[in-house]
Amino acid sequence: MPEEMVFSLDYTGHPLLDVGLATLTAFADKKRPIHLTEDDLHNAAQYIRENYVVDPLKSFLNVAFPNSGFTNPAFEKQPEKRHKYAEIISNAFTAPVGEDRDPFTGLPATALPLNPDGDLPPGRTYRQHVPLLTGENVINFHPYGESGIPLSGISLLAFQMLPMGCAKVSGKLLAVHSDDPDLLLYFAKTFLKANLQGVTIARAGGEKKLPDTSPHRARTVLIEYLLDAEKKRIRLERETGVIAPTLTGYYFTNSGQGAELDIYPLPLEVSSFLMVVMHNDLLKPEWEALTARGWQLTRKEGEIPRYNRLYEDLFTLPEGAPRFIRLYFLRKPSRQTLDKQDPTLTYDTHREVNLISWRLTEIFLKKVMLMEESRIQSIRELGDALAQHVIDRNDRGVFNGFWMARNYGELRAVLIRASAAEVRAGRKPLITLDQFLSIFEQSEGVPNADWRLGRDLVLIRLLEQLYQKGWFQAHAEELPETTPEE
C-alpha cells in the first residue's frame, strides 16, 4: 500500500522555514513538502538524533543553534541530556498539541517543553531552536509579553534541517529562497548533498569541522549555483509569457558572539536576463566568456579565487547598469584602487574587443534596463552608420573623437562634423535630431543627464562592427589607449 500523507503542508513564504521544508523534501527525495509522509519525517528525525549530537555537525551547528542541546558545552559531561534534547526536538511532530497556533503554518503548536529539564513553556521556541530569534525571557516584539514563538512539530523539524540545506560559506550559512519551488528545492538539495558528503569526508579524516560548501563569497556562490541550475533546467519555451523567478540569498549567523544577517535580493530583471542568456545557444558562450574574466586575480599558482566580480556586480543592478555596461560589455578598466586583485583593473577594450557583443548588450538593455525598442534601434543605427563612415573614409578622427570625448559638447561636435561631411558628400546625415535626443538626452521620455551611457552603447555597436569587418585590427596601433571607467 502507498504511504499515507499525514501533513498537507506546503511552502509558507517565510524564507528560512521554506528552505528548511525544502531540505526535508530533498532529504526524502520528494518534489514538494505536501508529498512528505510520516515515514519521511521519522527518517529526518533519526538523522538528527544520530548526527547532530556528534562532530562534525555538533560544532557546525553553533552557527545556527548556539547553546542548544546539540551544542551546549555543559552537556559534554552529560551526553544523556544531549541525546534527550535531540529526541525531544526531532520527535516533537509526534507529541500532543496545545491550544497555541504556529504563526507560520496555522497548525497547532506542540505542547512539549523543548528542553531536557522540561521547564520551558510548552511549545515555545527561542534562538537555540530557530535562528535569529531572541533568547528566553526576552519579551520584546512578542504579544502579551510572552517570550518565544509557538511552533508545530513539523515546523520545528524543518528549522532543525535548515542548516543542512544551506551553503557553509566563511563560517556563516547561506540560505537561498525563491518563489519558484523547483529552484528553491534545487538549492536546498544541492547544498544538502554537499553537506552530507562533507560529513562523510570529515569523519573519514577524523576532522571535527564540516568543510565549507564553496571557497567563494556568498554572492558569488549564489550566482554560481543559479547559473548551474539554469543549465540543468529543461530548455525554456520560446514564449514571452515565461516569468522569471525571485531569488534572495540570506547570509547569516546565529552565533552567540553576535547574530548577523545580510540579505542579497537578485532583481527580477536580472533573473530574467540570466534565464534568456543561459537558454540561448548564441548568447551563452558570449556570457560565459565574460564571466570567465570576472574571477579574482590570484597571487600565486594554485590559489583559489574567492569571488567573481561580475557575479557580485549583478546585485548592483538595475541602478548600477551604466557602470556595469562600461566595465563588462565595453571592457573599460575600473579606477578603484582598494582591491589590487580586482580583475576589472586589467580590462582593456583594445585587447578584449573580441569579447564585445552587441547581441548580449541588447538583451541586457531589454531585460535589465527595460529600454524601449525605439531607443535601442536608434543606438544600433547610429553605431552602424558611424562604423560605415569610419570604414568608407578611413576616418580615424571621427572614431578617436567619439571614443575620447571628455564632455557632452565634444561628443556633440564630433557627430555634427561627421554628419555635415556626409551631407556635403550627398548622403544623409549620420543621425537625426530625434535619434540624438533619444540616445543622449531622453530616456523613455524623461530627460537623461548621463550622456556617457548613450556614448558607451553606441561604442559597443561601433566597435563590434569595426572588429567584425577587420578595420579595428588593421588600425589598432593608431587608436587611443583605453582609459579607466569614470
Quote the CA–CA distance of 307 and 313 in Å, as a whole number: 11
Q: Does residue 409 fall inside a structural domain?
A: yes
The pTM of the full predicted model, rounded to 2 decimals, is: 0.91
Q: 3-class SS at 447?
A: strand
- Residue 364: name the closest of 320, 308, 312, 402 by CA: 320
Tens digits of per-residue pLDDT, 324-355? 999 999 999 998 778 999 999 999 999 999 99
pLDDT band for 44, please (50, 70, 90 cuts): very high
Q: Does residue 135 fall inside a structural domain?
A: yes
Q: For the residues 73-95, what does the mean pLDDT come to?
A: 93
Q: Does residue 299 fall inside a structural domain?
A: no
Q: Does residue 66 fall inside a structural domain?
A: yes
Q: For the residues 360-376, what does the mean pLDDT come to?
A: 95
pLDDT of res. 93: 95
Q: How many domains does the chain have?
A: 2
Higher per-residue pLDDT: 52 or 147: 52
Q: Does residue 325 fall inside a structural domain?
A: no
Quote the CA–CA distance of 125 and 121 in Å, as a whole number: 9
Structural domain of residue 53, as residue ranges?
15-164
Residue 98, phi then psi, degrees to nearest 5: -110, -160
Whether residue 318 is preceded by a cis peptide bond, meaning omega within 30 degrees of 0, is yes
Q: Does residue 451 fall inside a structural domain?
A: yes
Tens digits of per-residue pLDDT, 193-223? 999 999 999 999 999 999 999 999 999 999 9
Q: Does residue 361 fall inside a structural domain?
A: no
Length of the chain: 486
Tens digits of per-residue pLDDT, 217-275? 999 999 999 999 888 775 544 444 557 888 999 999 998 788 999 999 999 999 999 99
Residue where a domain stops, chosen among 122, 144, 164: 164
Residue where a domain stops, chosen among 136, 164, 192: 164
Residue where a domain stops, chosen among 148, 164, 180: 164
What does the mean pLDDT of the chain come to? 90
- Residue 105: name the closest of 154, 62, 147, 172 by CA: 154
pLDDT of res. 293: 97
pLDDT of res. 239: 42
pLDDT of res. 275: 92
pLDDT of res. 456: 95
Q: Does residue 346 fall inside a structural domain?
A: no
